[in-house]
Amino acid sequence: MDRRVCGKKGVGFMNCFYCKGALRDGVTAHVIKLKSCIIIVKGVPCTECTQCGAVFYDNAVALRLEGIVKEMKTAVTEVAIVNYPAA
């Protein structure tokens, strides 16, 4: 499943970039694999394709995910699971 960053929801494209399927608002788990650990962020708001399942994040969500990853890189654990709304 591909994950992309887009601008404001619904702006720029109304259909999936890949298959032209319809897009809908949704929630997903975002997995980041780093050299020393794996970070799983649950409950991430997204726009997803109803046809192929591609996931897109708006800029605010992408920036927040970057902040979560930066913060969790310092955690002394191999696997970190974070809830997006609580982060």
pLDDT above 80: residue 86 = no
Domain with 69 in it: 3-86
- Which CATH number covers residue 25? 3.10.20.860
- pLDDT band at 3, cuts 50/70/90? low
Residue whose tokens read 């780093």: 34
Confidence (pLDDT) at 10: 45
Domain tally, the chain: 1
| Whether residue 87 has pLDDT greater than 50 | yes
- Tell me the pLDDT tens digit for each residue of 68-81: 999 988 887 899 99
* Angle 6-85-51 from CA coordinates, rounded to 5°: 40
Quick: pLDDT tens for 9-37. 444 557 999 999 999 999 999 999 988 88
Q: Which of 34, 35, 38, 8 has the alpha carbon at shortest distance from 23?
A: 8
Name, in order, each residue with C-beta under 8 angstroms of 60's C-beta and a sequence gap of 6 or more: none
